Structure 1
Amino acid sequence: MKVIHVVESFAAGVLHFVVQLTHALPEYEHVVIHGERPDTPSHYVELFPLGVTLLPWKRVTRDISPISDILALYHLMRLLKQHKGDVIHLHSSKAGFLGRVAAKLLGLPTRVLYTPHGAAFLRQDVSPTKLSLFIWLEKLGNWCAGQVIACSASEAAAFQRYGIPADYINNGVECAKRPATPPTQTDTYCTIVVAGRISQQKNPALFNEIALAFLDQPHVRFVWIGDGELRHLLTAPNIHCTGWVEPPEVTAHLQQATIYLSTSLWEGLPLSALQAMCQGLPLVLSECTGHVDIVQVGRNGYLFKHTNEAIEILSELSKNNAFCFSLGTISQTLQKKNFNIQRMVESYKMLYI
């Protein structure tokens, strides 16, 4: 079995997803056709297992650019003709569109799967006109070829609302070990953490606004694990930004945290939040696609719609580390049951066959 992965967004969660999948399916031959972004790690080759073929995808960009997109489509078609596979697995919106058009133009008999990882039409940082264009492109791509396999039920439902058939396989992660000892009420700090690229999608302005509300509570501190183009928005003195760190250090920060907070505007199903669940953290997440799938309100965390609601929830949780641990224990149980890598991989294997 030969699987051709096509991915423009070769960084952060999407990169981690493809790396996980290639490691978990060593019995398959993997070819990864990939773009590069400013936050693509320089050592990305070392992340993949030996035997994976990595092919740079020329001229592909995140944003719509007619000339670049036509050139990227031409290059992708050349690569797909040179490297024939049994399955083409497209990751993220740009690869999803160009990959399905390429499959249609080439008349490939290959099985084509498309995992959006946060569909472009879910974005809240673009105009209604552009959102309408994204929806139209998704419909055109669906007509060309392939099957939409969203990474959460809520993302699949978003496609279905626009008349695009979609199924889903929950994202899953492999967990590092969690410390067995619960925190005590005498713990000095409440550490509220998030992990990911500091981008518009993650809404760092809201994260900063929430942190500012706790300036008079020195026992509450905030940590952003990651970096990005909007780092300058994190001005609150009680926020520590780690910059980009290796996965073991991400795990270490999560293990030292009390609460996982995400202010994202939209998601597919965030791997960073699943990793937080692995480490037994309660979740306090904005109510959006991808987040609603992993929070059982009052059991492993809370969802919020407004800033004041988030501040109120965090204020209550920050006073009770033992309750946070109790919520986090359920987070860990839910992750093991519904969002583990074994379940995800077995589901993709069934589709690949």
Structure 2
Amino acid sequence: MRQKIVHVTEALGGGVLHCVALLANRQAAAGDDVVVLHSVRQDTPPAAKLNELFDPRVRRQVVDMRTRIGAHDIVSVFRVLIELFRERPDIVHLHSSKAAALGRIAACVLGITSRTIYSPHGFAFLKEDISPLKISLFLLIERMLHAAGGHIVACSKSELRYARMLLLRAERTSLVENAVKLDEFRLDGRRKADEQVVVCTSARVTYQKAPWRFTRLAQRFSGTSKARFMWFGDGEADAIDNWIDRDAVELSGWIPAADLRRRLLQCDIFVLPSLWEGMPIALIEAQAAGLPAVASRIVGNRDVIVHGVTGFLANDDEELAHYTQRLIDDADLRQRMGAAASAHARARFGDSQLFRSYVGIYRRLLTPIQGHSLPAVTHGLSHEVPK
């Protein structure tokens, strides 16, 4: 028998889009009735692209949810509430901080907080581009809403530690690490060793990703023919002009996911100098493609990289340059770390593990209320987990 799952996200782009589509598609394939309520932002792909990413059995509905806090949030809560009342879900799965705030308020009104899950994908209070006052406000909001009910599912061990350390009723927390479809990374497509080393990253050009750090690395090696630097992704024109030196960095612009995977296989080193993360899909994809990585030592990055084994974690810009230099100069080290990165990703970050973990969490949330009268129609959770 089927269960109805409603995913709600304000941020349908980047890593959040990847995670929502991956999980929703697996659930639809397993026979569940799946709905995605989402808003449209600058980083949200057009409808035609979303149709390609989502299984046709997944129903999508646009609901206006804005990033900034304001009076418009009252309207957004009302719209989310109406959609949830109309859909009568067994499980409400909220993604990103803003959707979680709106969704949990709506769930409280409908009396279904016990069946509500929140996946932060990076807590808003960990951002480094907001004031200390906003950080305190976001943390207070998270504590109040978590105290009202619901279950938090962190995407990394570091995020789980923050949830249990900073929020009330920390026993209502779980861990399901982010994942990728490993069968889409064919290592036999990797390029042969070459004199010139290709150093890449994959992200939208935003403040969070610290693109000026990647540019500085590229400028450092621009006077030699040893390395070539590639940025897979796009961004706002002002951000690109301010932070990307096109003479040192080749910018691909937006490329489809399948094309990105092929391009990663033609690279040698992956660099991710972000200021904050949840658990970066781009870094997991790079490791699945057999690339050793150099990344900033922050939440998320440190949960993917095994320092000194699958790559390096850098405390500052000097270490970032030092570790990148080591990998550029040492082909044997790149090969060893790349092989270890691929093995690590395949053992830990497959989409089957992610799906099975969520099946278990959903079952635990539904089991105590089976046989009772619910505001939503309960369909049960008896389908088999696909191999």
Asked if 1:34 corresponds to 2:38, the answer is yes
The answer to whether the 8 Å contact 1:87/1:110 transfers is no
Asked if 1:84 corresponds to 2:88, the answer is yes
Task: Give the counterpart of 1:62 among 67, 88, 93.
Answer: 67
Asked if 1:231 corresponds to 2:240, the answer is yes
Structure 2 spans left out of the alignment, 5+ residues: 364-387
Which whole-Å CA distance do the structure 2 matches of 1:190 and 1:88 have between them?
46
Percent identity over paired residues: 31
Match of 1:196 in 2: 203
Which whole-Å CA distance do the structure 1 matches of 2:130 and 2:37 have between them?
28
Name the SS of the counterpart of 1:293 in structure 2: helix
Name the SS of the counterpart of 2:354 in structure 1: helix
Q: Which has the higher contact order (CA 8 A, sep 6+)?
A: 2
Asked if 1:108 corresponds to 2:112, the answer is yes
Which whole-Å CA distance do the structure 1 matches of 2:187 and 2:152 have between them?
38
Which whole-Å CA distance do the structure 2 matches of 1:95 and 1:79 have between them?
13
Match of 2:306 in 1: 296
Which whole-Å CA distance do the structure 1 matches of 2:150 and 2:89 have between them?
14
Per-residue deviation at 1:231? 1.7
Name the SS of the counterpart of 1:314 in structure 2: helix
Deviates more, 1:252-261 or 1:223-232: 223-232
Asked if 1:335 corresponds to 2:342, the answer is no
Per-residue deviation at 1:145? 2.4
Match of 1:130 in 2: 134
The answer to whether the 8 Å contact 1:178/1:278 transfers is no
The one-letter amino acid paired with 1:199 is T
Which whole-Å CA distance do the structure 2 matches of 1:109 and 1:150 have between them?
17
Per-residue deviation at 1:28? 1.0
Name the SS of the counterpart of 1:264 in structure 2: coil
Which whole-Å CA distance do the structure 2 matches of 1:52 and 1:184 have between them?
40
The count of corresponding residues between Structure 1 and Structure 2 is 350
Per-residue deviation at 1:305? 1.3
Per-residue deviation at 1:184? 6.2
Which whole-Å CA distance do the structure 2 matches of 1:181 and 1:340 have between them?
19
Task: Give the counterpart of 1:244 among 241, 247, 254.
Answer: 254
Which whole-Å CA distance do the structure 1 matches of 2:119 and 2:185 have between them?
29
Per-residue deviation at 1:167? 2.1
Task: Give the counterpart of 2:215 among 201, 204, 208.
Answer: 208
Deviates more, 1:129-138 or 1:229-238: 229-238
Name the SS of the counterpart of 2:93 in structure 1: strand
Per-residue deviation at 1:211? 1.6
Structure 2 CA distance for partners of 1:62 and 1:158, relative to 1, 3 Å = same
Asked if 1:18 corresponds to 2:7, the answer is no
Computed over aligned residues only, the root mean square deviation of the Cα atoms, in angstroms, reads: 1.5
The answer to whether the 8 Å contact 1:194/1:223 transfers is yes
Point out the structure with the larger helix share.
2
Structure 1 spans left out of the alignment, 5+ residues: none
The answer to whether the 8 Å contact 1:101/1:145 transfers is no
Structure 2 CA distance for partners of 1:184 and 1:35, relative to 1, 3 Å = closer
1:97-133 Cα distance to aligned partner (Å, 9 max, x none): 1111111122226611000011101101111111001
Which whole-Å CA distance do the structure 2 matches of 1:224 and 1:191 have between them?
11
Which whole-Å CA distance do the structure 1 matches of 2:84 and 2:191 have between them?
53
Structure 2 CA distance for partners of 1:30 and 1:110, relative to 1, 3 Å = farther
Task: Give the counterpart of 2:101 among 73, 97, 100.
Answer: 97
The answer to whether the 8 Å contact 1:88/1:110 transfers is no
Per-residue deviation at 1:161? 2.3
Match of 2:10 in 1: 8
Name the SS of the counterpart of 2:337 in structure 1: helix
The one-letter amino acid paired with 1:267 is E
The one-letter amino acid paired with 1:52 is V
